[in-house]
Amino acid sequence: MAVFVRVFRLAMVFFNVYDSYKILKLPPSSVSSKGKPSLRAMSQRKRGMKGCLAVWIVWVSENRIGRCILCKFNALVLLHNL
């Protein structure tokens, strides 16, 4: 079972890296808006970025290294608020 979980996590990271790469590219330009991407394409890109960011946050929070980074970040936020 532990091997399956590791393979599954590795596959999820690979797919998220691939999706992040695809989403970071600008959508194709529109003829009607003078070379700028359409509003619908930009909103879909924004939605995709939010989804990738959510996956990265979950992955970092479950990872050992991510827990350490998250603890340090939380400490900095708490110190800043004081």
Tell me the whole-structure pTM to 2 decimals. Answer: 0.60
Residue 41 has a CB neighbour count (10 Å cut-off) of 15
Please give the pLDDT value at position 49. 87
Phi then psi dihedrals of residue 45, to 5 deg: -65, -45
| pLDDT tens digits, one per residue of 28-70 | 887 777 778 888 888 888 888 888 888 887 777 777 766 666 6
Please give the pLDDT value at position 65. 67
3-state secondary structure of 62: helix
pLDDT at 72 over 80: no
